[in-house]
Structure 1
């Protein structure tokens, strides 16, 4: 299994001989609702779009997960799996093979990888977006991805999970609280599913941010503090910190895992 972090929440997961592009923001700026004055993310140069993508996987319909400018650059014939909100967006962009997964539904990718949607982040008053469990069918290795730190208790049913990709620090706003939950929730999910490896997501990488919102955002926690919490709780989980663009082979040992099927 190989993982490449492409900044922010964007990942290339190579599992079961397939290349899965997750929540890609690779070209152009990141702006919510055309309000650059409020928040804008940008790079000095665009990221190269990976070749031979087998699947695009989208956890949410928001711009930092289903980035319109990036999706317009990708081949519309690439299959897409996404939350209902993300699936609606890519259908409107002209993608030809789109599967909307609701919670607990499973998508089979060429009998190599099973992808199960699990409850993820609450967006707005009622919409719960997706996290994902990806299982390599030949080896049984599993990857869990949730980009805001909202972890469903149902994960206990498929523990242990080998790789967890989730925030390990908090990003908070005054009066609102944490919009990215990492410090407490990352430890809770580690205790719940006993991963061999954890990797942080939602961090900036090579990105520069501007806008009024930055004056109020507060980051809480560090990777070293999280490693110390794992040790204090007798968890042997390794925390890897890839640099943007680095393709890393994840060191895993085979162990017994449960099926996603009920």
Structure 2
């Protein structure tokens, strides 16, 4: 249904179409990794291939290719040329090649594959063959082009406050909760589990270069996750708030603690660096306590800057002096009686306006399966739709890119070199 809807709106709204394709990919990804594997033993041997995880994985890749192709069209409409278009075209080809490889395995295992995916398989082969030459040229253009520079953030939402970012070839794991539930050590009062990536584990992560911690509480500095992570990656480099020092020092030996306003650099292979600078986040305690951290992350070419703070709490005097192309923030408020746990809505719009953001990536860090007394007291205020309405009035040029858990979201910018 989502893919069909994406096709229906393709001629009218490219941004909505790409978003729907990404959501469809997320649904297929969820089927492939969460729904279908436990059912395989219960299904009859003559089950159709469409009921297998591999076919759902193929469809997830196809939908990602669709979304990338729509992004190409939008970039062309915006007048982009050179490196960005080359990289986008090459991305479409890569998704299709991976889909074909996976489908090859399916057709070998399933002799009775139905006509619909089988026909689609041949269509994919023809598309890929037709684009092989141009894709090779595109790859070289991305690497060697002298007239433009492309910077890209690849953002994968892992639910809650957790993210996996890739920029300049550096993979950064942010506030991970990947082992057990979130319970703050009081499971009888609060216990929360992810809704989509229920079976995503540490072993499912790619090779990680850095760990980034924003706050010292359990929903950011999750010891159930960090202890086994430190055993698996004892030399992992960490950037964190000093408030988490007592928790992190026993686990990791290479930790850089940043006070608000301080920065650090991550060297990348070509001699440039990813720059990370901390900002002031919420104060979780008495007024004289050090605030927790937000972060500004700047890509190696310096063309893209990302801002992240998971409570939508910020120091306006600091933020108004900064600029960020991408803002990751909650937009739905989470409220306790007489206390705001997580801000959003107008505050998120104000943040985007101060930073002159081009892209807003809303996170649903309160959208968890929770139970316990405290969970019954937390109330939500606002929706993504109401946020979009306010944003349209105050920052009309900003685009909202809704992430699908587990599905990478690529944000690129190409700038002509002098």
Give me the TM-score of the superposition, normalised by structure 1: 0.90
Query: Secondary structure of the residue that 1:131 maps to in structure 2?
Result: strand
Conservation of the 8 A alpha-carbon contact between 1:151 and 1:185: no
How much does 1:52 deviate? Answer: 1.3
Give the match for residue 178 of structure 2.
Answer: 26
Q: Distance in 2 between matches of 1:220 and 1:131?
A: 23
Instruction: State the match for 1:56 in structure 2.
Output: 211
1:248 pairs with 2:248: no
- Cross-structure match for 2:363: 201
Q: Distance in 2 between matches of 1:204 and 1:120?
A: 18
* Alignment partners' CA distance in 1, 2:176 and 2:378: 23
The alignment partner of 2:293 has SS state of: strand
Aligned counterpart for 1:138 among listed residues 292, 301, 313: 301
* C-alpha displacement of 1:140: 2.4
Q: Alignment partner for residue 77 of structure 1, among 226, 235, 255? A: 235
Q: Is the 8 A contact 1:87 1:99 kept in 2?
A: no
Find the counterpart in structure 2 of residue 258 from structure 1.
Answer: none
Query: Retained in 1: the 8 A contact 2:264–2:276?
Result: yes
Q: Distance in 2 between matches of 1:112 and 1:218?
A: 41
User: Which whole-Å deviations, capped at 9, do the CAs of 1:20-77 have from their partners, x for residues lacking one?
Assistant: 1111111211111x21121111247342332211100000111100110111121121
Task: Give, in whole Å, the separation in 2 of the partners of 1:242 and 1:102.
Answer: 29
Q: Which has the higher strand share?
A: 1
Distance 2:235 2:273 in 1: 20
TM-score, normalising length: structure 2: 0.57
| CA distance in 2: counterparts of 1:109 and 1:97, whole angstroms | 13
Which consecutive unaligned segments of at least 5 residues does structure 1 have? 256-262
- Please state how far the C-alpha of 1:151 moved relative to its aligned partner: 1.6
Is the counterpart of residue 187 in structure 1 residue 349 in structure 2? yes
The residue number in structure 2 matching 1:259 is none
1:96 to 230, 248, 253: 253
Confirm whether residue 155 of structure 1 aligns to residue 319 of structure 2: yes
- Tell me which moved more, 186-195 or 43-52: 43-52
Tell me, yes or no, if the aligned pair for 1:141 and 1:254 is still in contact at 8 Å: no
Go from structure 1 to structure 2 and tell me whether the alpha carbon gap of 1:46 and 1:68 turns closer, same or farther (over 3 Å shift): farther
Matched-pair contact (CA < 8 Å) for 2:243–2:290: no
Report the number of matched residues: 250
Q: Is the 8 A contact 1:148 1:202 kept in 2?
A: no
Question: Is this contact kept in 2: 1:27–1:46, CA < 8 A?
Answer: no
Aligned residue in 2 for 1:14: 166
* Map of 2:107 onto structure 1: none
**SS of 2:353 mapped into structure 1:** helix
CA gap of 1:165–1:242, structure 2 versus 1, over 3 A, is same
* Greater than 6 Å deviation, 4+ residue runs: none
Which ranges of structure 2 fall in alignment gaps of 5 or more residues? 1-152
Contact 1:81 1:87 (C-alpha < 8 Å) held by counterparts = no
Quick check: which has more Rg, 1 or 2?
A: 2
Partner Cα separation in structure 2 for residue 142 and residue 227 of structure 1? 22
Give the whole-Å Cα distance in 2 for the aligned partners of 1:100 and 1:54.
17
Larger RCO (CA within 8 A; separation ≥ 6) = 1
RMSD, matched Cα: 1.7
